Amino acid sequence: MITIERIPEPDGSIALWSVETALEGSAIGRRLLGHEQPVRASASVRGAAHAICWSSGRTLGNVEIFNKDVLTALPGQRGEDVEIGCDLVEAGRMRNGARRWWCRTHQAHWGTKTDIAAAHSSGHLLCSSHTQPMSFVVDPPSVRLDQHAEVGVWCSMPPAVTSAGVPRRRRPKIHVHIREEVAGKKVLDADVDALIVQYGTSGDLFGGTDPTTVNITPPAAFEFVTALETGRTMGYVACRDCGAPHLDLGEFGRVAHTKHLCGNCGRDGIRTAEPIASTPLKPLHDQFTSEPAFVDVDRTLNIDDYPGAPFAVWASTPAVLWTSDRPQERGIHVHLSIDGKREIDDTYGSVIYRGEELRRADLLTAMIAKTLV
Ligand SMILES: [Zn+2]
Ligand SMILES: [Zn+2]
Ligand SMILES: [Zn+2]
Ligand SMILES: [Zn+2]
């Protein structure tokens, strides 16, 4: 028989050993498999290096990875659609009373007899979904909202139309603008893999799930922006057991439900009185949107006036986060370069291309269709 022995380590993690015992009870083999993490990371762990990971096509969002075994085995500082290690936390008991674990990386339970036997022979803790392609970034950029005059965060999608023809499909990213003066020059205007937003200074009051920090990952941003754009209602709930913010993605992000499975601790004890699709971006967005109105831009641009100039066109999309008192602009966003220099980077109400007026709704549909989620 093979069982799991849990031995606490000084850093708060728990070493998981597999122990094979003979029928009469004597141990005939032991093997260190890896480390179980606390469900809530301590302040010291939170301050150390960590990563955020996510993947496309699934229904639960991810939490940060603090697990040193997983971090040291990551293939680089960032990755897209790669295999990364399992990150186990204790997750109560199975129906037969045996202990079970939850893999936060791949969002699957672990701990059946088959799982344990496989780990004992291979020396690796692998959940049933460990081959799922994942994207990750180590130490993602973080922004403190109280330290900048204006912060804007969007879901970056591929352009709808470019001078080079139909753009290729790509994964969504996070687009960030930071201004140190209201309506001033942007000090940051970039696409990033993921973003940590810090909106408070209360420290580690709530354990590992510090609610003053929100992680924005591409799938979460995409889900939220498409909800804003289509008028789909989003809600928010935290896990009753571990306090982690609950993030619904994919089908769960589109179909409201009352019973939610926690991506951080693997327990399904979250119930909401009303059916909702939950995202921590909802309270973040609502709390910091001081100006909810949009202005429809009335500038016009005729791309045909710039023959041969490379350009790209997007529908403007609502911001995930917009801390400015100025209303957001709604229209058609254009980048256009002349002699290698970006001459146009602006939003228009009317854009003519090949003699026809582009429609914002069509552009948005094209962008969503070209976004791989
Ligand atoms: Zn796993
Ligand atoms: Zn849910
Ligand atoms: Zn939980
Ligand atoms: Zn631009």
- At 198-224, the pLDDT tens digits run 887 544 444 444 557 899 999 999 999
Residues spanned by the domain of 201: 141-234+279-373
Pair (120, 163) in one structural domain: no
What is the distance between the alpha carbons of residues 104 and 88, in angstroms, rounded to a whole number?
Answer: 6
Q: Distance from the CA of 300 to the center of ligand 1, in angstroms?
A: 51
DSSP label at residue 248 = B
Asked which of 137, 160, 184 is the last residue of a domain, the reply is 137
Share of the chain above pLDDT 70, in %: 94
Residues 99 and 201 in one domain: no
CA 269 to centroid of ligand 4, rounded, Å:
43
Looking at the chain, the whole-number percentage of residues with pLDDT higher than 90 is: 73
Same domain, 180 and 59: no
Residues 365 and 321 in one domain: yes
Q: Is the residue at 299 inside a domain?
A: yes
CA 109 – ligand 1 centroid, Å? 8
Shared domain for 208 and 302, answered yes or no, is yes
| Average pLDDT over every residue of 156-174 | 93
Give the number of domains in the chain. Answer: 2
Alpha helices in the chain (DSSP H): 43-47, 68-72, 113-122, 218-230, 250-254, 281-288, 360-369
Same domain, 201 and 342: yes
Same domain, 370 and 346: yes
Handedness of CA 251, 252, 255, 259 (dihedral sign): positive
Q: Among all ligands shown, which has an atom nearest to the Cα of 92?
A: 3
pLDDT tens digits for range 80-126:
999 999 999 999 998 889 999 999 999 999 999 999 999 999 999 99
Residue 313 within a domain = yes
CA gap 367, 286 in Å, rounded: 25
Query: How far is the centre of ligand 4, averaged over its atoms, from the C-alpha of 77 (Å)?
Result: 27
> Is the residue at 254 inside a domain?
no
Q: Provide the pLDDT confidence category of residue 46 given band limits of 50, 70 and 90.
A: low
In a domain, 273, yes or no: no
If you measure from the C-alpha of residue 65 to the centroid of ligand 1, how many angstroms do you get, rounded to a whole number?
12
pTM attached to this predicted model: 0.89
pLDDT average, residue stretch 306-322: 96
Same domain, 343 and 208: yes
Confidence of residue 40 (pLDDT cuts 50, 70, 90): confident
| Residue 116 within a domain | yes
Q: Do 101 and 217 belong to one domain?
A: no
CA 160 / ligand 3 centre spacing (Å) = 39
Of the residues 117, 137, 157, the one at which a domain ends: 137
Last residue of a domain, one of 137, 167, 189: 137
Query: Are residues 178 and 125 both part of a single domain?
Result: no
Whether residues 105 and 190 fall in one domain:
no
